[in-house]
A and B are shown apart, each in its own frame.
Chain A
Amino acid sequence: MTRLLGTADAMSPLPKVGSEIIEAIERSRLVGRGGAGFPVATKWRAVAQRSRGDAVIVVNGAEGEPQSKKDRVLMSERPHLVLDGAFIAARVLRARAVILYIGERHDAARNAMLRALSARPESERRLVTTSAAPARYVAGAEAAAVHFLNEGIATPTNVPPYPFERGVGAAPTLVQNVETLAHIASLARTGQAPQTTLVTLAGAVKRPGVLEVEAHATIGDSVLRAGGAIEAPRAILVGGYFGSWVEPEHAWNLPLDADSLRRHGLGLGCGVIGVLPASRCPVCDTAGIMHYLAGESSAQCGPCFFGLRALADACTRVAERGTNPEDIKRLQRWAGEVRGRGACRHPDGAVMFLSSSLHVFAQEFAAHRAHNMSRSA
């Protein structure tokens, strides 16, 4: 069984793989691990089938999700595995450039990647440039990365054209999360994709942090591997701030693989599993997270900028002054009106999170009394 973490990170010559790896990726049903869950083979095929010119590979280690740490841990522990994936992509897709796009505050991860890079052969090193991703939520989005590399502004742009059609310097560009690249490197070396996935356990667990779990492991298994919950959980956040709250008894036996989650209307997103203890107020926490997400709108699309702010304000009114039916109704109506109205998926992710809050914490929202948010959160 190949694993991503807990294995020595050694450099060895790249396996001689060609475009047949795209079929192998497709058979493995690998989806992007940055959060969007986009099918990897589709992107690779689009870049491979370009009519002319060279491609560009962007190694996406921006990791802007505040709770997520798995990309940083992976880059720190297995930099060669990530680079293997990047150079395999460069070879298969005939890329002229590999860009390491790593969060500007992820110093340990970037240092580990650069140290590993300095040990690689000249033929690989000369392809590589590095770039520091601004520490904002949207900076890791594929189109924002391309916008940043082209113009120095890390905000999402309209798609299409998708980066895999027209990206860095107008070349077809593969923007791929570092964990995804590590999966591909393992697949190329062993002929089998790792049946594991990286998750970050956050909140009320005994040992918060990054875990590598079997794809068929349940959320309960991963919480137990993190030492278990430190008190009775009220709900579990699956997929980070663009994810959904799930009742603990429902979440506990839910397998973490993409297909099972999708059947329940969920997604693993960036792999954050947050445990909310019963002692915390879910309404105040929801308001706090909505405020954060509203502040991370890049103010390019009105429905996102104004909509998320209005939703966050309504959440805050309920949290600070107590429940009122008008705001609850507004929250439900506005959440539906914001979805799909941005150039990127930022508003969609935020209202998906909010809708799950309104659903799972319906009683708390309906019965909420005034709280001082700063004390609770």
Chain B
Amino acid sequence: MSNSVLWYTTRGAGAVTLILLSCVVVLGILSTLRVQSASWPRFLTTGLHRNLALMTLVFLALHIVTAVVDPFTNLGWAAALIPFSSVYRTFWLGLGVISFELLAAIVVTSLVRGALGHRAWRAIHWLTYAAWPVGLLHGLGTGTDTWSAWMLAITAACVAGVGMAIFFRLTSGSADPLAAARTMFRSAVDRREA
């Protein structure tokens, strides 16, 4: 019984992680688009983005820990931390490990953003665009519930949500309302060597 509890927890936490992570990605894109309305101020987007990201990590930890300690899987901690070191489903589990480690890097650098500087933080934050699809593929490839109707619906909703957000991000141009003016002013005060 306790073993199946662990096993169900792994699967459930994996699905919840996908949902949360997709929400975090969508919120992150919405915040760069500066989406807002009277009932949805901008700080709500960034606040939710941050808090859901931390919650994602909690469920991700649950997903990994329950998978590793489950005696039936016999994965071992190394398999959870070193990509493609698992004997069981080497490739698909490896994708999960990569996705987890990218997310961990993104969260850690966000927590120390003040010390890191904006440019480096932003460069690392771009890795989200790798972490999310790699994590999704991990679920598709090795998920026990992948082809059940409810999980297909969840996956489809996550892909549609993130896909739409990326589409708007790509088509809306610069969301920085000051970009044009800043470029113009900078051209007047910029004397860097070409």
A156–chain B nearest beta-carbon distance, Å: 10
Interface residue from A134, A151, A302, A306 paired with B188 (Cβ < 8 Å)? A134
B32–chain A nearest beta-carbon distance, Å: 15
Interface residue from A132, A144, A152, A305 paired with B193 (Cβ < 8 Å)? A152
How many CB-defined contacts (below 8 Å) exist between A and B?
46
- Contact yes or no, B178 A148, CB < 8 A: no
Interface residue from A136, A153, A298, A302 paired with B192 (Cβ < 8 Å)? A153
- Which residues B178-194 have CB closer than 8 A to chain A? 178, 181-182, 184-186, 188-193
- Contact yes or no, B185 A152, CB < 8 A: no
What are the residues of chain B within 8 A of A138 when measuring CB–CB? Answer: 189
- Contact yes or no, B191 A299, CB < 8 A: no
B177 interface residue (CB < 8 Å to A)? yes
What are the residues of chain B within 8 A of A153 when measuring CB–CB? Answer: 186, 189-192
Q: Closest residue to A301 on the B side, CB-wise?
A: B178
A297 interface residue (CB < 8 Å to B)? yes
CA separation between A152 and B194, bound complex, in Å?
A: 11
B22–chain A nearest beta-carbon distance, Å: 30
A222 interface residue (CB < 8 Å to B)? no
- Contact yes or no, A148 B191, CB < 8 A: yes
Q: Closest residue to B190 on the A side, CB-wise?
A: A153
- Contact yes or no, B182 A298, CB < 8 A: yes
What are the residues of chain B within 8 A of A154 when measuring CB–CB? Answer: 189-191
A149–chain B nearest beta-carbon distance, Å: 10
What are the residues of chain A within 8 A of B189 when measuring CB–CB? Answer: 134, 136, 138-139, 144, 148, 153-155, 298
A300 interface residue (CB < 8 Å to B)? yes
- Contact yes or no, B185 A297, CB < 8 A: yes
CA separation between A301 and B184, bound complex, in Å?
A: 14
- Contact yes or no, B192 A299, CB < 8 A: no
What are the residues of chain B within 8 A of A144 when measuring CB–CB? Answer: 189
What are the residues of chain A within 8 A of B182 when measuring CB–CB? Answer: 298-300
Given contacts A297-B185, A298-B185, A299-B185, contact A152 B191 (CB under 8 A): yes
- Contact yes or no, A155 B185, CB < 8 A: yes
Q: Closest residue to A296 on the B side, CB-wise?
A: B185
- Which residues B138-194 have CB closer than 8 A to chain A? 177-178, 181-182, 184-186, 188-193
- Contact yes or no, A136 B178, CB < 8 A: no
- Contact yes or no, A305 B178, CB < 8 A: yes
A103–chain B nearest beta-carbon distance, Å: 12
Q: Closest residue to B182 on the A side, CB-wise?
A: A299
A157–chain B nearest beta-carbon distance, Å: 12
What are the residues of chain A within 8 A of B192 when measuring CB–CB? Answer: 151-153
CA separation between A347 and B102, bound complex, in Å?
A: 41
- Which residues A138-171 have CB closer than 8 A to chain B? 138-139, 144, 148, 151-155
A63–chain B nearest beta-carbon distance, Å: 15
Given contacts A134-B191, A148-B191, contact A155 B186 (CB under 8 A): yes
CA separation between A139 and B185, bound complex, in Å?
A: 11
CA separation between A305 and B182, bound complex, in Å?
A: 9
What are the residues of chain B within 8 A of A155 when measuring CB–CB? Answer: 185-186, 189
What are the residues of chain A within 8 A of B190 when measuring CB–CB? Answer: 152-154
Interface residue from A139, A152, A297, A302 paired with B177 (Cβ < 8 Å)? A302
Contact mask for chain A residues 282-314; partner B; CB cutoff 8 A; 1 contact, 0 none: 000000000000000111101001100000000
B104–chain A nearest beta-carbon distance, Å: 29
Given contacts A134-B191, A152-B192, contact A305 B181 (CB under 8 A): yes
CA separation between A134 and B192, bound complex, in Å?
A: 12
Q: Closest residue to A295 on the B side, CB-wise?
A: B185
Q: Closest residue to B186 on the A side, CB-wise?
A: A153
CA separation between A305 and B190, bound complex, in Å?
A: 18
CA separation between A253 and B190, bound complex, in Å?
A: 44
**8 intermolecular pairs with C-beta atoms under 8 Å apart:** A134-B191, A136-B188, A144-B189, A153-B189, A154-B190, A298-B189, A299-B184, A302-B177
Interface residues of A (CB under 8 A from B): 132, 134, 136, 138-139, 144, 148, 151-155, 297-300, 302, 305-306
**9 tightest Cβ-Cβ pairs between the two chains A and B:** A152-B192, A299-B181, A154-B189, A299-B182, A134-B189, A299-B178, A299-B185, A152-B191, A298-B185
Interface residues of B (CB under 8 A from A): 177-178, 181-182, 184-186, 188-193
